[in-house]
Chain A
Amino acid sequence: MTHVLKIEDLHVNVGEKPILRGVNLTINHGETHALMGPNGSGKSTLGLAIMGHPGYDVTGGKISLDGKDVLAMEPDERAREGIFMAFQRPMAIPGVKMADFLRHATTNVRRPDRKEGEELIPMREFRKELKEKMSHLRMDVEFARRYVNDGFSGGEMKRAEILQLAMLQPKFALLDETDSGLDADAVRLASESIAEIGQGKMGLLIITHHDKLLEHNPPEFTHVMLGGRLVETGGRELADELHENGYDRIRNAYPDAEAANQEMLAEEAAI
């Protein structure tokens, strides 16, 4: 059976403010989707709503994974079901080593029925796997001993997110600007790594402003978000067009969505 992540008419508010206004999106396992759109259009909100961020209030619609109601699940249950998000701004957890964090995370995700306090995957076995994955990502072993995202540079944080993707092997991965804040070499390394880890092996939803990431991870589908809706869906050529020409055509073609987008930006600026 092919895994399917299905989003139907999703409406999400932050407080009283509507951000997503009816998003429809179906991702099959093995597919790569690009999610593009101007700032403030709701791309990150979609990711956070899929993961179940408590600050994002789903006011309508459905999310399902292989027919299971994702919205009824706690964020950690979603992770155990195989949904992953690489954060645009990952949180630091001082005092917790990357290796310990990942060992616990990997155990929970691989053994979704594990109860709190039950054994973690054996240290030796875990270390071996972590070491292999890190060397693949050209990460220094020292990295595993550092505290989670604590004092990491922007680039280190993104690589740490990719390492987590590699270890957790989710069914679906939402990558929220995993290429931003990186220099050209780092973007290439990140793009190659994601292609190697994810392409064809999971359903990928890639949120990006750059073309490098999509060059290595050519999307079968490109979605354009504006004002909290997916206004257009196309193939790879749509991504290329937007990189080339920007969003003017889209803004002109969908004046209602553009108005909503402007409104959201204005409210954001007012906060």
Chain B
Amino acid sequence: MTQTTLTNFDQAGFDAFIESRDEPDWLLAMRREAWQHGSAMRWPERRHEEWIRTDIRAFQIGKYSVPAGPDQGESTVADREQVHQLLQDVELAGRIETVDSKVVGENLDEAAAQRGVVFGSLSRLCKTHPDLVRKHLFTAFDPDEDKFAALHAAFWSGGQILYVPRGVVLERPVHIGSILSEGGTDTTHTLIILEDGAEATVLHESNGASTSASGLHLGAVELIQKPGSHLRYVNLQEWGHKTYNFAQQKASVDRDATLQWTLAAMGSMLSKVNQTVDLVGPGANSQVNGVMFTEARQHIAYHTLQHHKAPGCRSDFLYKAAQQDKSRTVWRGMIKVDKDAQKTDGYQRNDNLVLSNTSRADSIPGLEIEADDVRCTHGSTTAKVDEEQIFYARCRGFTRKEATRMIVSGFFQQIFDRISIESVREALAAAIARQVREYE
């Protein structure tokens, strides 16, 4: 059994972390550079526009440890199958599972492997497929973006990679599961590469070992799509409700490729996610379906960017958020259209359903357009559950709770209508139903 040593996010911790990893030089060099930059960076301050609404003064990184040592590990979470929610009624081509950034299980269908599909532990594949990883790792986003991104780049461990070669269609989805045990740290890095004309579906879920689990996720997702590829990427975030969640999630979509990105952010105590889709080749098409549902004092912030770098691309981002108790969501969306990105078709919308008098939704759409022949629309709505709707349903025999549940799931239905995977629709609906409270 592997001994897990705990190190901190400081110089000594970084040195010990590096020491404990048996990694190729190119990777160590990347980590060193990221640490050099990251350790010199200041923590974000509230006066920065991006952090005005997200207060991290209570966050102390010293409370969390980096799981050093090799990426393979033993699970400390017993009933993992109960934790995962996207495994129902799906036949998979492969699975990888981590607990606190340690890979506790991975497999890939033999037939897929024979067709050149690469899937599994990122650390392992850094050694067996160095050229592949090196070519793509940290190309979709810049670790210098902020201190969280840089720390992630220095300390990532237990990541996953999916590589689908040119023209290969992976019919069955792959599943990525990340679990945080009580007080654990997850610094997983997810790297997905689809070569020309490749197709894949990725079900990625992040769960706390319990709903109330504390912990830290310092993560990143890179989706790299070559021309004509098709990716459906589903990300269900259900970290424990005392977990800090800082993530950079970026996609780069090339010519005529399509991306359907579905995300549900339900967990964590505080989330700050930067989600970007770069449309880098003509005719690229991206759809984002976002669900946020918060309770208690949860704070979930999404800063989204749909960046049109090439002409004739389409982006269609819809986020629906419901807030209960004293929770708050922040959505700050931006459509950016470069000068040469003529004939851009960009859409963004954020609808909020505020379920209590003490919850709050901040919704800030934005446009930055340098081309002159584009169609960009954006919208934002914030409303409360209508008492007349509840009364109407109650007159048809629904209890107050049933009526509220129904109205909330109806609110999210518009998102579900866009999701093409039935098992995902069902899992999300169930996740939402579990979290709806009774209202007085």
Contacts and interface: CB of A to CB of B under 8 A. Distances in A.
Interface of A: 51-54, 74-76, 78-80, 84-85, 87, 90-96, 101, 104-105, 108-109, 116, 147, 164, 168
A96 B406 contact: yes
B393 interface: yes
A85 B409 contact: no
Nearest to B405: A116
Given A53-B391, A54-B391, A75-B391, A93 B396 contact: no
Contact of B397 (A79, A90, A93, A95): A79
B395 A51 contact: yes
A260 to B, nearest CB: 26
Given A54-B387, A74-B394, A76-B394, A95 B412 contact: yes
B398 A93 contact: no
Given A147-B413, A168-B396, 10 more contacts: A75-B394, A78-B395, A90-B392, A91-B386, A94-B410, A94-B411, A95-B413, A95-B414, A104-B398, A105-B398
B393 A93 contact: yes
A109 B396 CA distance: 8
Contact of A80 (B387, B393, B397, B410): B397
B420 interface: no
A94 B414 contact: yes
B438 to A, nearest CB: 10
Contact of B413 (A52, A91, A96, A168): A96
Contacts of B386: 91
Interface string B389-425: 1011111111111110011011111100000000000
B392 A87 contact: yes
A164 B398 CA distance: 14
B397 A96 contact: no
Contact of B389 (A78, A80, A93): A93
B397 A109 contact: yes
Q: Report, nearest first, the 6 A-B pairs whose CB atoms are least far apart.
A: A95-B410, A95-B413, A108-B397, A75-B394, A105-B396, A96-B410
Nearest to A112: B397
Interface residues of B, number: 25
A84 B392 CA distance: 11
A7 B402 CA distance: 29
Interface string B91-116: 00000000000000000000000000
Contacts of A164: 396
B388 interface: yes
18 contacts: A76-B398, A76-B399, A79-B395, A87-B392, A90-B392, A91-B389, A94-B410, A95-B409, A95-B411, A95-B413, A95-B414, A96-B409, A104-B397, A108-B397, A108-B402, A147-B413, A164-B396, A168-B397
A87 B391 CA distance: 11
A109 B392 CA distance: 14
Contacts of A101: 393, 396, 406
A181 B350 CA distance: 35
A76 B406 CA distance: 14
A108 B401 CA distance: 13
Nearest to B320: A95
Given A93-B406, A95-B412, A108 B391 contact: no
Nearest to A47: B395
Contacts of B391: 51, 53-54, 75, 91
A220 B393 CA distance: 31
Contacts of A52: 394
A79 B394 contact: yes
Interface string B178-194: 00000000000000000
A95 to B, nearest CB: 3
Nearest to A53: B391
Contacts of A74: 394, 399-400
Given A94-B413, A95-B412, A76 B387 contact: no
A78 B392 CA distance: 12
Nearest to B410: A95
A105 B402 CA distance: 10
A147 B413 CA distance: 10
Nearest to B415: A95
A54 B439 CA distance: 14
A74 B412 CA distance: 27
B411 to A, nearest CB: 6
A116 B402 contact: yes
Nearest to A94: B410
A172 to B, nearest CB: 13
Contacts of A84: 395
Nearest to A80: B397
A54 B414 CA distance: 30
Contacts of A93: 389, 392-393, 406-407, 410
Contacts of B412: 95
A76 B397 contact: yes
A94 B389 CA distance: 10
A94 B386 CA distance: 12
B198 to A, nearest CB: 34
Given A104-B402, A104-B406, A116-B402, A85 B413 contact: no
Contacts of A87: 392, 395
Contacts of A51: 391, 395
A207 B267 CA distance: 50
Nearest to B393: A93
Contact of B395 (A85, A95, A96, A116): A85
A109 B395 CA distance: 10
Contacts of A168: 396-397
Contacts of A90: 392
A105 B392 contact: no
Contact of B396 (A54, A79, A95): A79
A214 to B, nearest CB: 24
B322 to A, nearest CB: 12
Given A87-B392, A91-B388, A91-B389, A147 B410 contact: yes
A46 to B, nearest CB: 14
A29 B221 CA distance: 65
Interface string B346-360: 000000000000000
